[in-house]
Structure 1
Amino acid sequence: MSRPDDAYRGLGWKHGALVVQRLGAMLAPLTLLLPNGRQVSPMHIAPWAEEAGADELPGILRRLRGEWPCVPFGYSVPGDGAPAEWVALMHPAAPDEEVHGHGSNHCWRWEASDGCSLRLSIDYPQTSPVRRLERTVMPDPDGPAVDIELRIEAREACRLPIGLHPTFKLPPEPRQAMIEPARFDHGRTNPGVVEPDAALFAVDQVFTSLTAVPGLYGATIDASRLPFAAAIEELLQLNGIDGSVALANQAEDYRVRLSWQKEHFPSLLLWISNRGRRMAPWNGRHLALGMEPICSPFGLGPATALADNPVARSGTPTARAFAAGEIFTTRYRIEAEAL
């Protein structure tokens, strides 16, 4: 499968090495050298990237991997099976709507950088209220960490759901990783079913601890310990979170931590992709955890995000206002440490 010569660029430094691809500006693989001399690679790479037919997939799936920005975040879906207060707010996607936005599905261009970072940008279609995204990936010269900056330039005044999409590797054996969120106000289960044969949590319920999430059949479930033994595909949203989360990979004896500006992303979406999707290219083998800082109601798309939805009514914003010509800048960090 041929690739343009500029499809990937990499950086190496004292504490690690990383690769960014032009498609989606996705970051992975990322290898970090811990102070004890061990190397860890915390980011997920989908198993089908080099398989025959991968280039025919939608852009976001083609070489799905690691971390990237989503502007706007989500994708509109009809409210089939959702509770009544959600159904009226959920609609089929618009004809030009792309999953997680234009930047997630198209190739970015490389910009000049200082040799110690990678910088990319992408122009949005003229019909979009977003003019341009720019992204800079900067290894920390002093440790096993990467700092990332995202700039969003607005073409016109608008409100949009926005998000970041870090996706992390899970160990293959059950319950060998632990999610460690910062303090959060409350969590919510998804207002619909992600995959009909791979559901685990009760629909549209509120919880206060990740260790006691309402289950589909009444009992509470510890959702902090992954992966699950069964095939599961689920979403959980933690609202009012303090701007950090960690994943302790006990099988490989390291912790990866993500931190961000909580004033920009007041919620964390947990995408538990636990071998639950059976259609191609997933084929029941996709095992990963998305820990995604968002200003959005789950991934339900712009129309639902702008509506008076239950998450927004609870006091957590689900869309950000942009002024015409505004350049919005946010920064976040991925780092690793030994357990």
Structure 2
Amino acid sequence: MTISTIKARGISVSLDLTVGHIADMVVESGGRRLKPLHRAPWVDAGETLPRDLPQGTVRLSGDFLCAPFSRSDVEAAPLHGWPANSAWDVIDSAATDDGWRAVFRLRHKVMGASVDKILALRDDHPFLYQEHVFSGGSGAISVAHHPMTAMTGGGRLAFSPKRFAATPADPLEPDPARGRFMLAYPARSADLQHFPAAGGGTLDLTDYRMDDRREDFVTLVEADHGGPGWTALARQAEDDLVLVLKNPAELPVTMLWLSNGGRDYAPWSGRHLGVLGIEDGRTAVGHAASIGDNWLKREGVATAFALGEGRGFSFRHVIGALPASGGEPPQEVTTANGRMRLASAGAARDVPFDSDFLRIGRPAVA
């Protein structure tokens, strides 16, 4: 295995070049070392895993690019596509005047397109700034980031304004002999604190409870609000705040994967606990569904980028971590003038942030 590590003052990020997953991220803040990202317990454990697992599951870590998201049912590839399951090369990695910048290239083509991953760190910024660039190719591709965090004592969530949340037709684990789920499928709600539950009643999507053993998946559709899309998770036992940000014009949906002991078969084996995937994307579930007719398109939501010879597109994403402030996530996140402001009832805090990075207001290439 090959790991490539980049560093700036107060932050380091390591990329597993065998699959393009972030193997580790450490933010030093307030005299603490914060580790916002999850790494599956079987990675590097030396245990025998099922033979049919995709490499992206074998080395499941941190964050990775999905292209396509979920099923690769247009061009043959493993689950979540070649970017999540195969090798990347270091094209450039060097210190800059205010941090570090690295460029990685996927060895595989995706629908004939080349794919670059650009990671940037800035001194004293508690954030990883990411960009993915697709060049050439043909057809269309769905994309998503797949950051995962983990908690030992649950957490509280807050989001930028969403139009609604919806579950797909079928749960991830419909067979009770293999796993369990708690949300209703299919279901929909504009109130994230009252989402239909499988057994009747409702559940609060903003409350991650460790006693809820489950494997659930729900899609949140961004509202029109003019700012960055964001998810904030206040992890209780870890006493920190995990932040994930996007440009909604590029990545209009946020998919939550709640994986808390809800799968009983290997390699999960009931031990994948407290994990939350915060998966910002431009996608439906599966490549064919994303480029064909789907429920999100009928809601006016883009679910793929177009590829073409001589053309390209890119999208950006941010992951960060801060020491906790009050144990609750912020009610509002705004970015301007090189700062991020996190506001709650009667209080606000500012942290360094590249407020131009997400290019809010710039239309995405369809």
2:115 maps to which of 133, 158, 162 = 133
Among candidates 295, 302, 323, match of residue 282 of structure 2: 295
- Do residues 248 (structure 1) and 234 (structure 2) align? yes
Cα distance in structure 2, aligned partners of 1:97 and 1:10: 27
Q: Relative to structure 1, is the Cα distance of residues 94 and 310 closer, same or farther in structure 2, using a 3 angstrom cutoff?
A: closer
Query: SS where residue 94 of structure 2 aligns?
Result: coil
Does structure 1 residue 165 correspond to structure 2 residue 141?
no
2:189 equivalent to 1:193 = no
1:266 aligns with 2:246: no
| 2:271 is equivalent to residue 285 of structure 1 | yes
Q: CA deviation at 1:48?
A: 0.2
The CA deviation at 1:97 is 3.4
After TM superposition, the structure 1 = structure 2 runs for residues 45-60 of structure 1, keeping only pairs within 5 Å, are 45-50=39-44, 51-54=46-49, 56=51, 57-60=53-56
Q: Answer yes or no: is the 8 Å Cα contact 1:147–1:334 preserved in 2.
A: yes
What is the match of residue 310 of structure 1? 295
**SS of equivalent residue, structure 2 residue 27:** strand
Picking from 194, 199, 203, the partner of 1:217 is: 199
Cα distance in 2 between the residues matched to 1:182 and 1:206: 18
Q: Is the 8 A contact 1:170 1:226 kept in 2?
A: no
Give the partner amino acid of 1:20. L
Q: Which residue does the alignment assign to 1:179?
A: 157
Select the structure that is richer in strand.
2
1: distance between equivalents of 2:64 and 2:276? 14
Preserved CA contact (<8 Å) 2:171 2:217? no
Answer whether contact 2:148 2:276 (CA < 8 A) is retained.
yes
1:99 aligned to 2:79?
Answer: yes
- Residues of 2 paired with 1:325 and 1:260: CA distance? 26
1:83-122 aligned at under 5 Å gives the runs 93=73, 96-115=76-95, 116-122=100-106
Change (3 A) 1:61 1:177: same
Residues 74 and 302, structure 1, Cα contact 8 Å, conserved in 2: yes
Partner SS state of residue 301, structure 2: coil
Q: CA deviation at 1:112?
A: 2.0
Contact 1:123 1:131 in 2 (8 A): no
Check the 8 A contact 1:232/1:273 in 2, yes or no: yes
Paired letter, 1:166: P
Report the Cα offset of residue 262 of structure 1: 1.1
Structure 2 residue aligned with 1:88: none
Report if aligned partners of 2:135, 2:312 keep a CA contact under 8 Å in 1.
yes
Which residue of the partner structure matches residue 237 of structure 1?
219
Structure-1 residue corresponding to 2:357? none
The CA distance in 2 between the partners of 1:226 and 1:73, in whole Å, is: 24
TM-score under structure 2 normalisation?
0.80
Any idea what the Cα deviations from partners look like across 1:262-295, whole Å, max 9, x if unmatched?
Answer: 1111000001111111111111111211101111
Could you give the per-residue CA deviations for residues 41-62 of structure 1, whole angstroms, max 9, x where no partner exists? Answer: 0100000012323595421112
The verdict on how the C-alpha distance between 1:302 and 1:259 changes in structure 2, with shifts beyond 3 A counting, is same
Task: Quickly say closer, same or farther: Cα 1:308–1:95, change in 2 above 3 A.
Answer: closer
Identity of aligned residues (%): 25
CA contact (8 A) 1:55 1:62 kept: no
Partner of 2:361: none
User: Equivalent residue for 1:70?
Assistant: 66
Q: What is the TM-score when the length of structure 1 is the normalising length?
A: 0.86
SS at match of 2:162: coil
Aligned pair count? Answer: 309
Note if contact 1:150-1:331 (Cα within 8 Å) is conserved in structure 2: yes
Query: Is the 8 Å Cα contact of residues 87 and 107 (structure 2) preserved in structure 1?
Result: no
Between the aligned partners of 1:25 and 1:55, the Cα distance in structure 2 is 21
> In the alignment, residue 162 of structure 2 is paired with which amino acid?
F
Give the distance between the partners of 2:120 and 2:314, measured in 1 at CA.
Answer: 15
- Give the one of 306, 316, 337 matched to 1:321: 306
**Superposition deviation, residue 67 in structure 1:** 0.7
Structure 1 residue 235: Cα displacement: 0.2
CA contact (8 A) 2:156 2:235 kept: yes
Q: Cα distance, 1:183 vs. partner? A: 0.5
Whole-Å separation in 2 of the counterparts to 1:95 and 1:72: 9
* Residue 124 of structure 1, CA deviation: 2.8
- SS of corresponding position for 2:233: strand
Q: Which residue pairs with 2:340 in the alignment?
A: none
